[in-house]
């Protein structure tokens, strides 16, 4: 999706929102679109265009940019403007450090609950795999981890995971269209569900921990290459 298409979407949403003139609303909308892969690394976020589309001041936009910059989702380049970030190897290590804490812990903390939502997500990933849809596999994998953490029923964890997944979407651009990275995790996600369905959350958490270590190593290798 182009920046112009995202602007059109934001313009339509702003008309129906009572919060569209706040920096918090703007940062949330931009974060969601980055997490969905609608804004690629390096995309310039024009203050003038965003201000016109949303009917907000530069100060309001800068409030949103300050929040996203602190999350490493956007970056300011002096005399050039604001851009969607390109995560570095150091960023990848930090992302996986955070994920290594919250995702296994979220699995352990979960109360017994139906696994239907996770199964639907894995089914979508399997369908994407069978049709060679790499972006579909990546999106389903992101959604699986979001839903996994959401089962812990913690608003703070959900908020943190939203930030992490937005940055992860930018990291995935380094993998290009290589299905070899995404395909194994479709089966891994299904295995996590099997362990949880058997009531062995400890084994599921440990499996997720090793799974994340492997993904981090693959991403770092790809970025080095």
Cβ proximity of 223 and 91 under 8 Å = no
Cβ proximity of 107 and 57 under 8 Å = no
pLDDT in tens, 121-145: 999 999 999 999 988 898 899 999 9
Q: Which residue has the tokens 């290590």?
A: 93
CA-closest candidate to residue 32, choices 138, 169, 144: 169
Q: Which domains does the chain have, with CATH numbers?
A: 3-84 (1.10.10.10), 89-224 (1.20.120.530)
- Helix-helix angle 201-224:179-197, to 10 degrees: 170
Residue 82's H or E segment, with its range, is strand 81-84
Quote the pLDDT of residue 3.
Answer: 85
- Can you tell me the distance from the alpha carbon of 33 to that of 23, in angstroms, rounded to the nearest whole number? 15
Residues linked to residue 77 through DSSP beta bridges, in sequence order: 81
Residue 81's H or E segment, with its range, is strand 81-84
Hey, what are 74's tokens?
Answer: 């956007």
Q: Is the pTM of this model over 0.85?
A: no
Q: What percent of the chain has pLDDT over 90?
A: 50
- Can you tell me the distance from the alpha carbon of 163 to that of 28, in angstroms, rounded to the nearest whole number? 9
Lowest mean pLDDT among 6-20, 66-80, 92-106, 153-167: 6-20
- Can you tell me the distance from the alpha carbon of 62 to that of 48, in angstroms, rounded to the nearest whole number? 12
- Can you tell me the distance from the alpha carbon of 29 to that of 33, in angstroms, rounded to the nearest whole number? 6
C-alpha dihedral over 218, 176, 40, 210, to 10 degrees? Answer: -20
Residues 6+ apart with CB under 8 A from 62: 23, 47
Q: How confident is the model at residue 111 (pLDDT cuts 50, 70, 90)?
A: low
pLDDT in tens, 163-214: 898 888 888 775 656 778 889 999 999 999 999 999 999 999 999 999 999 9
């Amino acid at each position: 999706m182009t920046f112009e298409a995202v602007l059109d979407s934001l313009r339509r949403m702003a008309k129906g929102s009572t919060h569209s003139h706040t920096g918090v609303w703007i940062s949330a909308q931009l974060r969601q679109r980055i997490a969905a892969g609608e804004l690629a690394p390096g995309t310039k976020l024009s203050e003038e265009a965003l201000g016109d589309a949303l009917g907000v001041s530069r100060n309001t936009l800068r409030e949103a940019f300050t929040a996203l910059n602190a999350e490493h989702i956007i970056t300011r380049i002096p005399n050039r403007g604001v851009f969607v970030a390109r995560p570095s190897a150091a960023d990848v290590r930090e992302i996986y450090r955070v994920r290594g804490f919250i995702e296994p812990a979220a699995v352990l903390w979960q109360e017994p609950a139906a696994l239907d939502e996770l199964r639907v997500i894995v089914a979508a990933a399997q369908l994407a795999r069978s049709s060679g849809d790499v972006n579909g596999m990546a999106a389903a994998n992101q959604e699986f981890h979001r839903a996994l953490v959401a089962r812990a029923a913690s608003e703070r964890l959900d908020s943190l995971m939203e930030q992490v997944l937005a940055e992860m979407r930018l990291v995935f651009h380094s993998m290009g269209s290589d299905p070899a990275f995404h395909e194994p995790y479709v089966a891994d996600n299904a295995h996590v569900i099997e362990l949880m369905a058997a009531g062995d959350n400890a084994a599921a958490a440990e499996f997720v921990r090793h799974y994340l270590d492997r993904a981090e190593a693959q991403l770092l290798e790809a970025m080095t290459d």
